[in-house]
């Protein structure tokens, strides 16, 4: 299967401002792709171009193997989307809102509409509130209803812009599990967010936007493997432990009270403790400190953003 989302040189300018600059995005089939970046980095503008909501200034877009926006009629019926928050009729119930939207979809089957609406509401935990008017919904409930709308029909691709916005911790966990279930069922999910902690728990792949540029993308393991790993050795002979670390080829070796540290580089982890023991150095603790997703982001952009939500 070809990659469901591919862009080449995707660019969007608003007069003198370049909001998205030569982005080459690749979202693999079956992935949960976390599209990360602080506010104003170009995430939503990119998503709007993918969905044909705005036209690019330059570049090419392929969604589900077809060019966009030229083939939008064929593509969008296979795509579920939540972009820039939900918008529904305030005086209608949640169920009536979804039924109205389903009726407007020329590809939907009116005979199965009621069953599909209730199934979508149940999937996001809103079936008990189906008859309540939308204006009485909390922000989190409104967000759930928008996700339910994206699930009314079978989708090959889901594009969710800040899907956990306004949700309490329990609701956030439910959405995270729902996204995992959708991916396990064969859908590809593109999740735009500024919350690293949430994205790290649900994503298989990451793309990092900063000031309109896609500064890195790949699987989480690939991104983390490109960053520095530090070895920490707890011992009552830190100076001697530091000497062994240097002999093995570790760099930036330092000592502190009861501890020696060094940058691992290409040194095999399995060699370190045996070499220390062979030199009669007691190893009281040994840790390989791997970078967090936040560390990766900071290394790519030079700054952080909301990591907890």
Is the pLDDT reported for residue 126 higher than 90?
Answer: yes
At residue 135, the pLDDT reads 95
- As given in the structure block, the two tokens for residue 65 are 């193997």
At residue 305, the pLDDT reads 52
- The residue extents of the domains of the chain are 5-224, 230-290
Is the pLDDT reported for residue 199 higher than 90?
Answer: no
CATH class of 5-224: alpha beta
Q: Any idea which residue has 């039924």 for tokens?
A: 99
At residue 181, the pLDDT reads 84
| Arithmetic mean of pLDDT, 53-79 | 94
At residue 304, the pLDDT reads 55
At residue 168, the pLDDT reads 80
Pick left, alpha or beta for residue 30 (phi over 0 → left; psi -120 to 50 → alpha; otherwise beta). Answer: left
Q: How buried is residue 128: exposed, middle or buried, by Cβ count under 10 Å (0-12/13-18/19+)?
A: exposed
| Arithmetic mean of pLDDT, 3-12 | 96
Report the candidate in 77, 74, 94 with the shortest Cα–Cα distance to residue 86. Answer: 94
As a whole number of angstroms, the distance between CA 103 and CA 121 comes to 16
Residue 90 CB contacts under 8 Å (≥ 6 apart), including other chains: 133, 134, 135
Per-residue pLDDT reduced to its tens digit, 223-246: 776 667 889 999 999 999 999 999
Q: Give CA 63 to chain center in angstroms.
A: 18
- Lowest mean pLDDT of 96-105, 117-126, 188-197, 222-231, name the range: 222-231
State pTM to two decimals. 0.78
Report the candidate in 60, 50, 3 with the shortest Cα–Cα distance to residue 26. Answer: 3
Is the pLDDT reported for residue 166 higher than 90?
Answer: no
Mean of pLDDT over the chain: 88
Is the pLDDT reported for residue 92 higher than 80?
Answer: yes
Task: Using DSSP bridges, classify how beta strands 259-263 and 230-234 pair: parallel, antiparallel or unpaired.
Answer: antiparallel
Is the pLDDT reported for residue 216 higher than 70?
Answer: yes
Is the pLDDT reported for residue 308 higher than 50?
Answer: no
At residue 289, the pLDDT reads 84
Fold classification of 230-290 (topology level): Alpha-Beta Plaits (3.30.70)
Is the pLDDT reported for residue 1 higher than 70?
Answer: no
- Per-residue pLDDT band for 307 (boundaries 50, 70, 90) equals very low
- As given in the structure block, the two tokens for residue 83 are 């972009």
**Report for 42-56, 83-97, 158-172, 207-221: range of highest mean pLDDT:** 42-56
- As given in the structure block, the two tokens for residue 246 are 């240097």
At residue 309, the pLDDT reads 34
At residue 302, the pLDDT reads 65
Phi and psi at residue 202, in whole multiples of 5°?
-115, -15
Is the pLDDT reported for residue 247 higher than 90?
Answer: yes
CA distances from 270 to 41, 125, 129 (A): 41, 48, 56
Per-residue pLDDT reduced to its tens digit, 250-269: 999 999 989 999 998 889 99
Give percent above pLDDT 70 in the chain: 94
Give percent above pLDDT 90 in the chain: 60
Return the higher-pLDDT residue of 125 and 129. Answer: 129
- Per-residue pLDDT band for 179 (boundaries 50, 70, 90) equals confident
As a whole number of angstroms, the distance between CA 261 and CA 252 comes to 8
């Amino acid at each position: 299967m070809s990659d469901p989302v591919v862009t080449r040189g995707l660019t969007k300018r608003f007069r003198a401002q370049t909001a998205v600059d030569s982005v080459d995005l690749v979202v693999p089939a079956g992935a949960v792709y976390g599209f990360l970046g602080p506010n104003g980095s170009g995430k939503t503008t990119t998503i709007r171009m993918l969905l044909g909501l705005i036209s690019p200034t330059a570049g090419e877009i392929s969604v589900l193997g077809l060019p966009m926006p030229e083939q939008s009629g064929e593509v969008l019926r296979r795509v579920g989307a939540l972009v820039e928050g939900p918008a529904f009729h305030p005086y209608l119930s949640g169920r009536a809102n979804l039924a109205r939207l389903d009726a407007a979809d020329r590809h939907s089957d009116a005979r199965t509409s009621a069953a599909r609406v209730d199934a979508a509401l149940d999937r996001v935990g809103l079936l008990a509130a189906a008859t309540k008017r939308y204006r009485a919904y909390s922000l989190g409930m409104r967000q759930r209803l928008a996700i339910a709308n994206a699930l009314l029909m079978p989708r090959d691709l889901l594009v969710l812009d800040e899907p956990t916005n306004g949700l309490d911790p329990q609701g956030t966990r439910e959405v995270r599990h729902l996204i995992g279930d959708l991916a396990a069922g064969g859908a590809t999910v593109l999740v735009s967010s500024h919350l690293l902690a949430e994205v790290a728990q649900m994503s298989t792949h990451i793309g990092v936007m900063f000031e309109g540029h896609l500064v890195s993308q790949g699987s989480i393991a690939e991104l983390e493997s490109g960053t520095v790993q530090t070895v920490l050795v707890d011992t009552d002979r830190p100076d001697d432990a530091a000497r062994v670390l240097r002999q093995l080829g570790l760099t930036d070796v330092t000592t502190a009270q009861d501890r020696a540290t060094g940058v691992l580089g290409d040194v095999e982890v399995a060699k370190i403790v045996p070499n220390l023991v062979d030199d009669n150095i007691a190893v009281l603790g040994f840790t390989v400190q791997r970078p967090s997703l936040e560390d990766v982001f900071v290394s790519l952009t030079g700054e952080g953003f909301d990591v907890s939500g």
